[in-house]
Amino acid sequence: MKKTKAILLIALIALMFSSGSCKKQTCGCEGKVSFELNQVPGTIYYEDTKFTYFISDGLYSYFTVCDPGTTWDEVSKFKSGEHVIVSGKAMDDCMKQMSYYYSSNYVLHLEEIKRPEF
């Protein structure tokens, strides 16, 4: 009986360490593109740490900008809370796998940000 439990425990531990280690990530900044944003209006927000996020007007979605340091020169031309138009590629936020409440969260590879033309 003890030998069977030991074998099952070892098998379970081996399974835990092997699962997911070779799989390609399907969420986050290195994940699979879910959809593209093409000149979507919304509001850009950022903090002193360069943490940047975008809330779209038409889509009920929250987008965290991937690697904001690379787009900081463009983003910082706008005030935090300013209305902008953005384009880029959106991927699922990994938090979606943990809770339904993150179902409208995405990460965004920001390709273009500009002021709206009125």
CATH number for domain 25-114, candidates 2.40.50.500, 2.40.128.90, 3.40.50.880, 3.40.50.300: 2.40.50.500
Determine the Cα angle at 97 with ends 94 and 98, to 5°: 105
| pLDDT computed for residue 111 by the predictor | 94
| Paired sense of beta strands 105-114 and 33-46, if any | unpaired
Whether 68 has a pLDDT exceeding 50, the answer reads: yes
Q: What integer is the mean pLDDT of 20-24?
A: 49
Separation between Cα atoms, residue 116 and residue 20, nearest integer Å: 43
Q: Judge whether residue 28 has pLDDT over 80.
A: yes
pLDDT band at 38 (very low <50, low <70, confident <90, very high): very high
The domain limits of the chain are 25-114
Q: Tokens 């340091």 appear where? A: 69
| H or E, element range at 7 | helix 2-18
Claim: this prediction has a pTM higher than 0.95: no
CA 102 to CA 59: how far, in whole Å? Answer: 14
